[in-house]
Structure 1
């Protein structure tokens, strides 16, 4: 984006680094100076490229997916891009890999850090998605610092990022200055959150509280939230569109780009105020990778490069209402996006190393007490 650089101070157990660091341990066992997938002299750019992603990338009002398909096929006229929408996200492919079943996909678009952890906690370490040779992806060098997703096996590149925050109605409650404030009487029966086992923002908010309260203190914090009347719904759709937008509560866990959406539809901005408790927001980059058993490897690499191109980054950012992954100089977005998309003073995330071996236990312990409350 022009006029603003979306790089926050990275605190806690934060991700760091640049996309160019994405190689496996580099023991020299692969070709191309230790990188996987050396670039062929005559790449095969014909055939059907199957891209797995989430539903809102393809369906709904003005999603990015149809544009990506049309523009990619225009750039590669001998190729056809086919979307596939796994019902349970990356878990569907983990199950298929365990059963040695056909994956029916070449590229996965929409991987979070926790998806990589889930793969490695379930399958062989570094499995399912292949190590990327970023030398084959020219646009990878334009990815902003801080969006390396921390994968030690170099399987993914970020294509956008969002920040989890609180959205609140200033006519009803004041801006909470800290996470601890949410347990106080001023916010009794105010907060809507999501199931951390079913929802990306719900899990991000849980991890944010773990970063703040510690592994030994986060359940006590959530008990205080529960005593103060937090309501936990199954997913973001239910909590935001189903409850918050209907005025049932004055605060919801959501995204810091909420005002972009509110401005587009002419909503009352007083009901779409952005809060960054502790001057923080939880960074949630989305990544893309290529399956180990991809049948259209060359086209898959071309798609990853295409997704980081100027036009594709602008379309993904504006239609997904997320921030671009590449440096601002390469992306020309609407002035309204620049005005209404907010970045926290400090971006926090719990990184791969801390999630590995812990994520499942943390969410299960949380769900045992709080899911569905």
Structure 2
């Protein structure tokens, strides 16, 4: 989940937990024991490690990025952490790789599963980010079961997760019990959604409908939503901080941590109710990985381990309004976070194998009919 500027059981295609060391077979990158990136006896922890991420990780009100930089540099006094924000996210690095241009970043922080699929649909399988030797990342063993992102090439570890779900005003509409309810007259002209071409929440909601109605039925479902007055705006910022917070609609596709934000800013909780149609929400874990050509490999591994430390996980969760990736016993969160951050009974995720070769086509077919409506 991309941080907003203000600060169960896994279903269907979700995947199992982290287990041991992730390796890529048959590409000549492993050492003799079958493990990529063997741990050096004397790691080089001096130099500048460059971490690519999204804008709201480092800019806006109280983002996590500046804290991560300061704390990492305190822990590694001979190192400097520099943030870089690519304009088009992972797509910038896909383009550079296709053009054989230099990639100067060492770490990518903020990769969704669909990013990895796009990498492999446009580059060689397992490209751009390197296979990780998880044995070099001590804190990886604390990642919660179910947060392996399902990359068959072992390139990423989750550092947080969120659940995309409807948020609604209970004084204007009732909680939808099913996705079908959103097509009924009671929700006419109620729903705000986002463009699946460039919005994380928009794409997650689209994938949720594909999981629910199948490749042959999701467009029909969206035609029913359109007939019922769904309004699709460009991104989460425009739909939530703009239209929804201005009272233009009574429901918006957002996150199940929405009440954490509402509580922090003392908003009326009645307008920040979280809905779990069919007991579900769409899980959107974010991962971090190391670029194949990283110049500061040892520091890159240390950063991944650091991002999974107790303090870093708490800061990321609370400042990004996210759920931490590690087991709750390792993270001390505010009581308000525990009270107002909600989880669905079932987390829906479409896995790598099903997304591979299909994602762009699904989004393009949807966009031809509905983008900008």
TM-score band by shorter chain is: over 0.9
Q: Counterparts of 1:305 and 1:192 in 2: how far apart (Å)?
A: 38
* 1:326 alignment counterpart: 326
* 1:30 alignment counterpart: 30
* 1:49 alignment counterpart: 49
Q: 1:251-273 CA distances to partner (integer Å, 9 max, x unpaired)?
A: 00000000000000000000000
Q: Counterparts of 1:276 and 1:259 in 2: how far apart (Å)?
A: 14
Contact kept, 8 Å, 1:117 with 1:355, in 2: the verdict is: yes
* 1:247 alignment counterpart: 247
Question: What secondary structure is seen at the aligned counterpart in 2 of 1:115?
Answer: helix
User: In the superposition, relative to structure 1, how do residues 21 and 225 fare at CA in structure 2: closer, same or farther (>3 Å)?
Assistant: farther
* 1:211 alignment counterpart: 211
User: In the superposition, relative to structure 1, how do residues 21 and 186 fare at CA in structure 2: closer, same or farther (>3 Å)?
Assistant: farther
Alpha-carbon offset, residue 100 of structure 1: 1.1
Q: 1:142-180 CA distances to partner (integer Å, 9 max, x unpaired)?
A: 000000000000000000000001100001000000001
Contact kept, 8 Å, 1:168 with 1:250, in 2: the verdict is: yes
Contact kept, 8 Å, 2:21 with 2:35, in 1: the verdict is: no
Q: CA RMSD in A?
A: 1.1
* 1:5 alignment counterpart: none
* 1:285 alignment counterpart: 285
Q: Counterparts of 1:20 and 1:322 in 2: how far apart (Å)?
A: 25
Question: What secondary structure is seen at the aligned counterpart in 1 of 2:285?
Answer: strand
* 2:199 alignment counterpart: 199
Q: Counterparts of 1:25 and 1:280 in 2: how far apart (Å)?
A: 36
Alpha-carbon offset, residue 17 of structure 1: 2.7
* 2:3 alignment counterpart: none
The number of aligned residues is: 366
Q: 1:332-364 CA distances to partner (integer Å, 9 max, x unpaired)?
A: 000000000000000110000100000000000
Q: Counterparts of 2:298 and 2:100 in 1: how far apart (Å)?
A: 23
Question: What secondary structure is seen at the aligned counterpart in 2 of 1:72?
Answer: helix
Q: Counterparts of 2:222 and 2:16 in 1: how far apart (Å)?
A: 28
User: In the superposition, relative to structure 1, how do residues 55 and 19 fare at CA in structure 2: closer, same or farther (>3 Å)?
Assistant: farther
Higher deviation after alignment, 26-35 or 273-282: 26-35
Question: What secondary structure is seen at the aligned counterpart in 2 of 1:347?
Answer: strand
Question: What secondary structure is seen at the aligned counterpart in 2 of 1:248?
Answer: coil
Contact kept, 8 Å, 1:27 with 1:34, in 2: the verdict is: no
Contact kept, 8 Å, 1:26 with 1:35, in 2: the verdict is: no
Alpha-carbon offset, residue 31 of structure 1: 1.6
Q: 1:268-305 CA distances to partner (integer Å, 9 max, x unpaired)?
A: 00000000001001000000000001100000000000
Q: Counterparts of 1:42 and 1:18 in 2: how far apart (Å)?
A: 27
Correspondences of 1:216-295 after superposition (within 5 Å): 216-295=216-295
Contact kept, 8 Å, 2:21 with 2:132, in 1: the verdict is: no
Question: What secondary structure is seen at the aligned counterpart in 2 of 1:20?
Answer: coil
Question: What secondary structure is seen at the aligned counterpart in 1 of 2:82?
Answer: strand
Question: What secondary structure is seen at the aligned counterpart in 1 of 2:30?
Answer: coil
Q: Counterparts of 2:27 and 2:91 in 1: how far apart (Å)?
A: 30
* 1:314 alignment counterpart: 314
Q: Does 1:299 align with 2:299?
A: yes
Alpha-carbon offset, residue 96 of structure 1: 0.4
Alpha-carbon offset, residue 29 of structure 1: 6.2
Q: Counterparts of 1:15 and 1:357 in 2: how far apart (Å)?
A: 19
Q: Counterparts of 2:269 and 2:212 in 1: how far apart (Å)?
A: 29
Alpha-carbon offset, residue 30 of structure 1: 1.5
Alpha-carbon offset, residue 16 of structure 1: 2.2
User: In the superposition, relative to structure 1, how do residues 32 and 55 fare at CA in structure 2: closer, same or farther (>3 Å)?
Assistant: farther
Contact kept, 8 Å, 1:138 with 1:305, in 2: the verdict is: yes
* 2:17 alignment counterpart: 17
Unaligned runs of 5+ in 2: 1-7
* 2:4 alignment counterpart: none
Alpha-carbon offset, residue 32 of structure 1: 5.8
Q: Does 1:108 align with 2:101?
A: no
Alpha-carbon offset, residue 226 of structure 1: 0.3
* 1:182 alignment counterpart: 182
Unaligned runs of 5+ in 1: 1-7
Q: Counterparts of 2:21 and 2:301 in 1: how far apart (Å)?
A: 17
Contact kept, 8 Å, 1:189 with 1:228, in 2: the verdict is: yes
Question: What secondary structure is seen at the aligned counterpart in 2 of 1:215?
Answer: coil
Alpha-carbon offset, residue 24 of structure 1: 2.1
Q: Counterparts of 2:40 and 2:16 in 1: how far apart (Å)?
A: 31
